[in-house]
Amino acid sequence: MGLKAILSKVFAAWVNHDLNRIRKDAVLLQQKTFKNLINQATNTSFGHDHHFNQIKIYEDFKKHVPIRDYEELSPYITRVTNGEENVLWPGKPTYLTKTSGTTSGVKYIPISKESMPEHIKAARNALLAYIHETGKSDFVDGKMIFLQGSPELSEKAGIPTGRLSGIVAHHVPPYLQKNRLPSYQVNCIEDWEEKVDAIVHETVDEDMRLISGIPPWCQMYFDRLSAMSGGKKVRDIFPNFKLFVYGGVNYEPYRSRIEDSIGFAIDTIETYPASEGFIAFQDSQREKGLLLLVNSGIFYEFIPTDEYFNKNPTRISLADVELDKNYALILNTNAGLWGYSIGDTVKFISKDPYKILVTGRIKHYISAFGEHVIGEEVEYALMSVANEENVDIVEFTVAPQVNPAQGKLPYHEWFIEFGSEPKDLKAFALKVDKALQSKNIYYFDLIDGNILQPLIIQSLKKDAFINYMKLQGKLGGQNKVPRLSNDRKIADGLKGCIAPTKPSPEGRASAGI
């Protein structure tokens, strides 16, 4: 064991004391965060417009500050991106993160001098929590990689601007710089496929011990490593590879294929970073859920998802959340986002400490017929059946079909790229449909009442989603395929990727054809 590994255990024990405060005093820490945020922003333009000087308690805040998404907050953000100071937060942002919006095109999210260190601290503490619990620290002596966006930054009104992962790359602690790959030059390659190939060449002979990134793009890296190495498993290429860190999507649909590529069930750490702030991370290998970071400059609010689109939805703080209930997550941050709907949904699985699961996107759902099916439900339905039947799922998305062939009932259309297909696709689809009915009573009622027919699966050709994302200009980095859409935009884009029909065991056509 090297010196870094030894020292990391000492540092991990020290950090764990701070994490214990988060675990034990979450509500109190949120109250302190709320007061600090209001006090610091009272003299900003937003603070004046929303009477921050009159806000003493959370009930006052709700009266003065409405819930807004990016589009609704954009008049203030535009003033920030034009170079105006003291708009949402004192001074100017240290950075602007550039993300892809669903309705607004490019979004610019401010990062302040107060919020930037919280991103770095949270990523560091996720690793230290793992070291403290498991005692495993050898990975810090080897090479580490994060598959990320380009660290090259542009400027907007004099403010450095780029992707979050690229910005974070400029803040890697000095003691990790020698361990870090890929090189700056390779990281700056814009074309994702060219970049992955370059990373493969740069890392294949290195002592890789920690790999981090969004699962589908890590899978692409693993596939190309294997191809370059004559079909070897990742464990044979990197015998000391021991830890996989991921975020951005639910890991379960990818777990089987990634573990098969690696060659064993590797330890994993799930993180929940966003341009708006680092929200949570997995602090235990023994317990489910992500520890909500309540002392990192973010005051959280929660709206029950079934009320989100109401005119006056219930709006609560951490003290009043309930277990196993889906909430839309609302942020107030030390970068100047106020009553900000990030678009994610979460549910609490513990209040001692406060731990969450990310369950989907508030705007990624299907409710063309009143069913309001969410991401957590479709992922459960598919993966429970896939695991039972030993079927490998590469990627999938779901959309409603409201205009079926004449005489047919509407249905949910599932587009799935299989690593290994079911023996009988139609029977597989019926099992998935039954599983979805068990998770969503409204969907059950629509099937039972013959309003909808059972779901239909379209099996897609190899690399269908990679090719689709490439056409959209969203291959790699922090981009993800939405699991659910309430329209046909993605579905129509995938129609040309449907695999040829195979006869079912009974000689009938497979499901969906």
DSSP-assigned letters across all residues of 439-469? H-HHHHHHHHTTSSPPPEEEEBPTTHHHHHH
Closest C-alpha to 465, from 474, 477, 454: 474
Q: What's the distance, CA 59 to chain centroid?
A: 31
Q: In the chain, where are the structural domains located?
A: 117-273, 365-497
Host H or E run for residue 215: helix 215-228
Give every CB contact of residue 60 below 8 A, 6+ residues apart in sequence: 54
If one looks up domain 117-273 in CATH, what number appears? 3.40.50
Residue 304: per-residue pLDDT? 94
Residue 110: per-residue pLDDT? 97
- Which two three-digit tokens encode residue 420? 């290994």
Residue 46: per-residue pLDDT? 98
Q: What's the distance, CA 335 to chain centroid?
A: 20
Compute the C-alpha angle 347/348/351, nearest 5°.
165
> DSSP class of residue 323?
B
Residue 417: per-residue pLDDT? 94
Question: What CA–CA distance (Å, rounded) separates 102 from 70?
Answer: 10
Q: Three-state DSSP class for 291?
A: strand
- Which two three-digit tokens encode residue 455? 């779901």
Question: What CA–CA distance (Å, rounded) separates 307 from 134?
Answer: 41
Compute the C-alpha angle 335/341/344, nearest 5°.
110
Burial class (CB in 10 A: 0-12, 13-18, 19+), 477: buried
Q: Within 13 A of 282's CA, how many CA atoms are on the CB side?
A: 21
Question: What CA–CA distance (Å, rounded) separates 465 from 493?
Answer: 10
Host H or E run for residue 262: helix 252-262
Would you tell me which CATH number, out of the four given (3.40.50, 3.10.450, 2.30.30, 3.30.300), belongs to the domain 365-497?
A: 3.30.300
Give every CB contact of residue 62 below 8 A, 6+ residues apart in sequence: 315
- In angstroms, what CA-CA distances link 416 with 31, 157, 385? 45, 43, 14
Closest C-alpha to 348, from 367, 324, 327, 365: 324
Give bridge partners of residue 398 from the DSSP assignment: 414, 484
Question: What CA–CA distance (Å, rounded) separates 113 from 481?
Answer: 32
Identify each DSSP E strand in 47-158 by its residue range.
95-100, 106-111, 143-146, 154-156
> DSSP class of residue 136?
-
Question: What CA–CA distance (Å, rounded) separates 50 from 42?
Answer: 9
Task: Find out whether 26 and 354 touch, Cβ atoms under 8 Å.
Answer: yes
Q: What is the pLDDT along the chain (513 residues), one digit of tens a residue?
A: 777 888 999 999 999 999 999 999 999 999 999 999 999 999 999 999 999 999 999 999 999 999 999 999 999 999 999 999 999 999 999 999 988 654 446 899 999 999 999 999 999 999 999 999 999 999 999 999 988 888 899 999 999 999 888 898 888 877 777 888 999 899 999 888 899 999 999 999 999 999 999 888 899 899 999 999 999 999 999 999 999 999 887 888 889 889 999 999 999 999 999 999 999 999 999 999 999 999 999 999 999 998 988 889 999 999 999 999 999 999 999 999 999 999 899 999 999 999 999 988 887 778 788 787 888 889 999 999 999 999 999 999 999 998 888 888 989 999 999 998 899 999 999 999 999 999 888 899 889 888 899 999 999 999 999 998 888 887 776 677 888 888 888 899 998 899 887 655 554 433 443
> DSSP class of residue 500?
P
Residue 102: per-residue pLDDT? 43
Residue 470: per-residue pLDDT? 87
Question: What CA–CA distance (Å, rounded) separates 307 from 320?
Answer: 16
pTM of the predicted structure, to 2 decimals: 0.82
Burial string for 255-269 (b: 16+ CB within 10 Å, else e) reads bbbbeebbeeebebb
Tell me the one-letter amino acid at 195. Answer: K
Task: Find out whether 349 and 322 touch, Cβ atoms under 8 Å.
Answer: no
Asked whether this chain's domains 117-273 and 365-497 adopt the same fold, the reply is no
Residue 416: per-residue pLDDT? 95
Compute the C-alpha angle 447/452/457, nearest 5°.
100
Identify each DSSP E strand in 136-237 by its residue range.
143-146, 154-156, 159-162, 180-181, 208-213
Residue 169: per-residue pLDDT? 86
The dihedral through the CA atoms of 466, 470, 475, 479 has a sign that is negative
Burial string for 489-505 (b: 16+ CB within 10 Å, else e) reads ebbebbeebebeeeebe
Residue 201: per-residue pLDDT? 95
Q: How many residues are given for the chain? A: 513
